[in-house]
């Protein structure tokens, strides 16, 4: 049966707060949840898909029909596994290589990203949304990564409460003209949580210009040069470090989270890694795989692992030579069903 799901308090499901946006409509089938909010928050692009399964189910009108529902398609899981293990191995080699050799692997003279000026956000049409009011570590509905942060010895406390965490959202919503080319808004949006002093980042939402541009009416196929999570996260990381210690300790990256992992391909690979290793989904501390294992390589090579890998591999000049040394799979806190999370542990190389 086709169903319509209303979530009247999104915090009860995810631990994240969305500003004044209830009820939220989600179309689901019995296999997977598809969340595409049709609304705009604060006159900005749609808030990313951060909801999960549960609460208030009512039938959809028959006129909606199954065509609007997205179902998991057939996939050659073993082929996917082998491809991502290979991809993960390539990314590990990219991280290990010096800049010149890494550049050759990418078909360039250097792997170094040219996007290192914070002013590029404005140049390419990104607008900032202070996400601080929309998450919490306390109360009845705390952010579901609290146990993981505490397990790492990082105090889950906002900078506004004398802690270290800040959460920034960037939305690509302003048309810009660069070199006589007009770049229309794609409504790409990125939400990243940081504790720069602790060396920790959490990629919460990574909806790229290409992904979001295809969803516009009409579709947008001209993308800003600043478009990857790796570059966007780095610019914020660099800016935060310039504020707390004049950039002196910018290379202190230790933990890169991807949470929640909604990408269907990644979720299947996570389940496959657990199956192959004789494990199952667990809450923190979850299950950890060393980088030289096929399980870790598959998770480094999956879509959610590419951003952290390029974050390290294309910013060696600023961060130093870094590598993912292990990957942890875990489930978030709380009783409601949620997507899994990934933690990429970073070490000097």
Please measure the distance between the N-terminal and C-terminal CA atoms of the chain and give it in whole angstroms. Answer: 53
Q: What is the pLDDT of residue 50?
A: 35
The mean pLDDT value for 26-51 works out to 36
> Whole-angstrom Cα distance, residue 346 to residue 254?
5
Average pLDDT over residues 134-161: 92
Question: Ranked by mean pLDDT, which of 44-53, 239-248, 313-322 comes out on top?
Answer: 313-322
User: What's the CA gap between 151 and 176, in Å, rounded?
Assistant: 44
Confidence of residue 336 (pLDDT cuts 50, 70, 90): confident
Q: What is the mean pLDDT of the chain?
A: 83
Predicted pLDDT at 143: 86
R_g of the chain, CA atoms, integer Å: 20
Q: How confident is the model at residue 332 (pLDDT cuts 50, 70, 90)?
A: confident
**pLDDT (0 to 100) of residue 263:** 94
Question: What is the pLDDT, as a whole number, of residue 74?
Answer: 55
Beta strands 200-207 and 255-258: pairing type? parallel
**For residues 22-35, average pLDDT:** 34
């Amino acid at each position: 049966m086709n169903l319509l799901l209303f979530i009247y308090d999104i915090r009860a499901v995810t631990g994240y707060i969305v500003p004044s946006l209830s009820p939220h409509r989600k179309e689901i089938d019995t296999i997977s949840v598809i969340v595409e909010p049709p609304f705009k928050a604060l006159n900005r692009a749609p808030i990313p898909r951060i909801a999960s399964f549960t609460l208030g189910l009512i039938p959809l009108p028959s006129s909606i029909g199954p065509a609007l529902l997205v179902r998991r398609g057939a996939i050659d899981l073993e082929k996917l596994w082998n491809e991502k293990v290979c991809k993960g191995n390539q990314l590990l080699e990219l991280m290990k290589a010096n800049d010149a050799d890494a550049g050759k692997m990418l078909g360039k003279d250097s792997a170094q990203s040219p996007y290192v000026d914070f002013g590029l956000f404005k140049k390419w049409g990104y607008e900032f949304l202070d996400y601080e009011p929309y998450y919490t570590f306390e109360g009845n509905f705390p952010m579901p990564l609290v146990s993981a942060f505490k397990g790492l010895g990082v105090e889950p406390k906002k900078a506004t409460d004398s802690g270290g965490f800040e959460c920034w959202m960037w939305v690509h919503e302003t048309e810009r003209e660069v070199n006589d080319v007009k770049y229309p808004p794609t409504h790409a949006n990125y939400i990243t949580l940081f504790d720069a002093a602790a060396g920790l980042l959490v990629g919460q939402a990574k909806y790229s210009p290409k992904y979001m541009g295809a969803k516009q009416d009409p579709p947008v196929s001209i993308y800003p040069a600043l478009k990857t999570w790796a570059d966007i996260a780095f610019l914020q990381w660099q800016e935060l470090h310039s504020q707390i210690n004049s950039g002196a300790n910018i290379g202190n990256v230790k933990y890169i989270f991807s949470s929640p992992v909604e990408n269907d391909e990644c979720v299947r690979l996570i389940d496959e890694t657990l199956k192959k290793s004789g494990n199952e989904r667990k809450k923190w501390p979850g299950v950890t795989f060393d980088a030289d294992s096929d399980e870790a390589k598959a998770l480094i090579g999956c879509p959610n692992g590419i951003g952290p890998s390029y974050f390290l591999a294309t910013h060696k000049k600023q961060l130093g030579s870094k590598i993912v040394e292990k990957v942890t799979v875990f489930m978030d806190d709380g009783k409601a069903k949620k997507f899994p999370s990934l933690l990429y542990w970073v070490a000097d190389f």
